[in-house]
Amino acid sequence: MPYHKNLYERIQYESSRPSAVLERPQKGGVLAGLLCCAVPGLFLLAFQLLKHNRGVMDAVVFGFTTPLKHVLSRLNSHLPFAAGEAVWGVGLLALAVFLLRTVWLLVTREGRLRRLLRRGLAALAAGLIIYSCYTLMWGCNYYATPFTERAELTPRYSTVEELYQLTAAFGRKCGQLSGQVPRNEAGVMETDHEELFENSALLYRGIAKEFPVLAVERHDPKPMFFSRLLSLTGFSGFYFPMTAESIVNVDQADCMIPATILHELAHQCNVAEEDAANFVAILAGVRSEDVEFQYSSALMGYIHTSNALRRADRDLYDTVSAGLNEQVLADLADNDAYWAQFETPVADASQTIYNGFLHSYGHSEGVKSYGMCVDLLSAYYFDR
């Protein structure tokens, strides 16, 4: 460093030099981002290599994640709200803040390429960590021994006559129960949501005696506070594995809320497939002693079997539907009208994304696999 006559000149000299920190790229953030990407990346690689090993997947699901989810479910059951919904809310808020700050930094600060790289790595790392956690806590379930094998129940195709008999049976059941459930002035089913959720997990006691694989620790599902927003995505409920909670959309038509509660409870019993969860919900509901759950589950059974019958034989479908009473028809119309208002690009995109999740775990039918629910009903009612 050149000699200066006084301290003032030396200070001026130092302040005129470019900052050493600014001259060198900050490698720490990049290396940390790469490390945060590498760890979940290695886990996902291991998952891809081992996912078809049934023994390993069973060990992970039934030996590790299931006990862990029981602990999480037990802890979160004491909260008066759904912790999973809170996690989603905080996550979406954090994403919005991250995107806004990224834009602000790129516009107002220098070193745009370096900043874009660092924040891109941070976003990638966060995505990989979240996907890894979901894979561990739920994705592995799709490769473990499925409910149908554990319950020794083999789905099979139904003949047209069998479809007709099933649909007619559920239609008669709906008719018998429709007058026993509470209704509003418009003639559609109206329920007390708080009473529905209270002790709803106990409704599985009957079916668990027949299928011991369902005799696991369960906790009451929770209503979603922002249910209307969930409707915008086309979902009636969801199971959040990171908090081990079943969360139900209570803005939907009341006639389907009890059946949805039972559907989401099925996921607590390690029933991963959507079609199998519907089958379990229907059977648990019609075998319960609660008339509202009986009716809602019978209605769900009718919806699935009648849709299949309509595709197979329209005349037989018309014959069965003509026998429904006004109360059942009112509830079906109420449910259809509710979801019709959400047939938007947002709902389509949400379903496409969720289908992508299911496909990534080998669940090839995606959310459209509900047709197997009818095959399971046929196997249960005609083969057992």
Residues 153 and 291 in one domain: yes
What pLDDT does 364 receive?
58
At 144, the amino acid letter reads A
- In angstroms, the CA 312 to CA 341 distance is 28
Residues 217 and 363 in one domain: yes
Rounded to 5°, angle at Cα 305 from 207 and 138: 55
What is the pLDDT tens value at each position of the chain, 384 positions in all?
Answer: 444 455 555 545 455 554 444 444 455 567 777 888 999 999 999 999 999 999 999 999 999 999 999 999 999 999 999 999 999 999 999 999 999 999 998 888 888 888 888 889 999 999 999 999 999 999 999 999 999 999 999 888 889 999 999 999 999 999 999 999 999 999 999 999 999 999 898 999 989 999 999 999 999 999 999 999 999 999 999 999 999 999 999 999 999 999 999 999 999 999 999 999 999 999 999 999 999 999 999 999 999 999 999 999 999 999 999 999 999 999 999 999 999 999 888 777 877 877 776 777 776 554 443 388 999 999 999 987
For the record, the structure tokens of 161 come out as: 């006559």
Residues 166 and 313 in one domain: yes
- In angstroms, the CA 170 to CA 25 distance is 69
Bridge-based pairing state of the strands 245-248 and 237-240: antiparallel
Q: In this structure, are residues 131 and 47 in contact, taking their beta carbons and an 8 Å threshold? A: no
- In angstroms, the CA 67 to CA 60 distance is 10
Look-up of token digits 């000299």? 13
Alpha helices in the chain (DSSP H): 7-16, 20-23, 27-50, 54-60, 66-76, 83-108, 112-137, 147-150, 160-177, 193-197, 205-210, 227-232, 257-268, 274-286, 291-312, 314-321, 326-340, 345-360, 371-383
Give the SS3 label for residue 149: helix
What pLDDT does 153 receive?
92
DSSP 8-state symbol, 296:
H
For the record, the structure tokens of 35 come out as: 């490390």
Residues 254 and 286 in one domain: yes
Residues 112 and 175 in one domain: no
Residues 73 and 113 in one domain: yes
Residue 17: inside a domain: no
Q: In this structure, are residues 254 and 190 in contact, taking their beta carbons and an 8 Å threshold? A: yes
- In angstroms, the CA 17 to CA 92 distance is 43
Residues 211 and 300 in one domain: yes
Owning domain of residue 356: 147-383
Residues 80 and 211 in one domain: no
At 140, the amino acid letter reads C
Residues 157 and 55 in one domain: no
Bridge-based pairing state of the strands 222-223 and 237-240: unpaired
Angle between helices 291-312 and 371-383 in degrees, nearest 10: 110
Give the SS3 label for residue 238: strand
Angle between helices 274-286 and 291-312 in degrees, nearest 10: 130
Chain centre distance of CA 243? 12
Residues linked to residue 238 through DSSP beta bridges, in sequence order: 247
At 303, the amino acid letter reads I
Residues linked to residue 245 through DSSP beta bridges, in sequence order: 240
Residues linked to residue 247 through DSSP beta bridges, in sequence order: 222, 238
Residues 240 and 377 in one domain: yes
Radius of gyration of the chain (CA): 27
Residue 246: inside a domain: yes
Residues 159 and 135 in one domain: no
Total number of domains constituting the chain:
2
What pLDDT does 22 receive?
40
Residue 7: inside a domain: no
Residue 46: inside a domain: yes
Residues linked to residue 239 through DSSP beta bridges, in sequence order: 246
Residues 218 and 360 in one domain: yes
- In angstroms, the CA 278 to CA 368 distance is 12
Residue 1: inside a domain: no
What pLDDT does 347 receive?
77
Residue 199: inside a domain: yes
Residue 16: inside a domain: no
Point out the domain boundary residue: 142, 173, 200. 142
Point out the domain boundary residue: 142, 158, 176. 142
Q: In this structure, are residues 142 and 272 in contact, taking their beta carbons and an 8 Å threshold? A: yes
What pLDDT does 10 receive?
53
Our CA dihedral for 120, 125, 128, 130, rounded to 10 degrees, sits at -110
Give the SS3 label for residue 222: strand
Give the SS3 label for residue 158: coil
Residue 12: inside a domain: no
Task: Give the contacts of 212 (CB within 8 A, at least 6 positions apart).
Answer: none
Point out the domain boundary residue: 142, 173, 204. 142
- In angstroms, the CA 313 to CA 300 distance is 20
